[in-house]
Structure 1
Amino acid sequence: MQSQQKADNDLLHIYGRMISVGLVLVIMAVVGAKYFLTLPQIAARGLEVEHTRLLNVLVMVRSQWLSLGKPQQMQLNWEVLDNISIKPETSVVSMNDLGWPQPKSFTAQGCQDLWWQLMGAELDNTDLVADYSAQDNSCSYLSSNGDSLGYQLDSGSVTFLAAP
């Protein structure tokens, strides 16, 4: 009789553990689903963050331009992280008469190079495509989700447009 009670007791413990494991798995599934559903929203904010970074860099560069006596070109230094170490990178950026950085060439490639010079990162790494508009003399940076960032080369204004 005691062996039957012991077997019933062991069976109840096993059922209890199975229910506990099942509850943990359900909770993990709910948390995981919420996490993976919010990933696209987090990724979509990438260009919004880059907008703030670009604004800060432009203000810093223009401030240095003023403090250095308004030179035609400025040297920008970045520490770039490659797979193994951090290495210093230097680039020279041309400035217009009002103190705003200008691309080397007024083309899409020039805008792409300007992004690297200002932000210290390749466009390939940020999933952006550069474009130059001669009509309003601006560089546009388009994200794969439809957001865009525009940099007015004459006035230094930066606009962020979110996809609808």
Structure 2
Amino acid sequence: MAGQARQDFNAMLTFTRVLSVAVVFILLAVAAVSLTKDVEKFSNQAWQQQYARLVHSVNAIYSQWLIRGKPQRLTLGWQTLSLVGTRESSNLKINKLSARQDAIAETTNEIWLSNTGFPQLKAKDKSGCQRLWHDLLGQKLDENLKHELKQTRQTAITIYRQEPQRCLFQGEGGSQIIIDFSIEKLSFIEG
């Protein structure tokens, strides 16, 4: 009888341990899911910021296009635009500031424009889309994301579609920025 009680006690102890481990795994799974949602939310916010920057850039280009008499091409110098923004922020160190200015100084870009002042692709392919992003924002797409998403390993997929003609930039979280050349419109779709 004592042997049977001992076996029952050992079985109950083993069952309790297995149940405890299962509860811990369930709690870890719930934490991982909620953490993943937070990372995706952060990623979507970064994509929204990139979209806002793109809209502001296109609007500034349109204004310059009107001011300069509606040319077919417009040369952008991101050096002058950068100096205005960086002098206002006092928490940047001098060496970081000069390194950033040197990087931006290399990005003098020529934008081709439609008859209505909307930016156009130089090459109608994926590389043309990536180049347009670089020309409009003064940085490559991946550099923008690395700056916005310092702690995550966000990558972007660039897709060119011929019909209707558009560039699609998609993040891992599903967010998309679309430059539609057929209707000359920028769009953001949250993932």
**Shared fold, TM over 0.5:** yes
Matched residue SS, 1:84: helix
In the alignment, structure 1 segments of 5+ residues that lack a partner are 1-32
1:91 to 109, 112, 115: 109
| Distance change in 2, residues 1:157/1:85 (3 Å) | closer
Match of 1:110 in 2: 128
Structure having the higher strand fraction is 1
**In 2, are the aligned partners of 1:100 and 1:154 still within 8 Å (CA)?**
no
Amino acid at match of 1:49: Q
**In 2, are the aligned partners of 1:65 and 1:74 still within 8 Å (CA)?**
yes
Give the alignment's TM-score, normalised by structure 1. Answer: 0.70
Match of 1:78 in 2: 78
Runs of 4 or more off by more than 6 Å in structure 1? 80-83
Identity value in percent: 25
Rounded to whole Å, the distance in 2 between the matches of 1:145 and 1:156 is: 25
Compare relative contact order (CA 8 Å, sep 6+) and give the higher one, 1 or 2. 2
Structure having the higher helix fraction is 2
Rounded to whole Å, the distance in 1 between the matches of 2:40 and 2:175 is: 13
1:121 to 108, 115, 139: 139
Greater Cα shift, 153-162 or 92-101: 153-162
The alignment of Structure 1 onto Structure 2 pairs a total of residues equal to 129
**What do you get for the CA RMSD once the two structures are aligned?**
2.3
**In 2, are the aligned partners of 1:100 and 1:155 still within 8 Å (CA)?**
no
1:20-43 Cα distance to aligned partner (Å, 9 max, x none): xxxxxxxxxxxxx9xx94444223
- 1:153 partnered with 2:181: yes
In the alignment, structure 2 segments of 5+ residues that lack a partner are 1-30, 83-95, 146-154
- 1:141 partnered with 2:141: no
Rounded to whole Å, the distance in 1 between the matches of 2:167 and 2:125 is: 9
Amino acid at match of 1:106: K
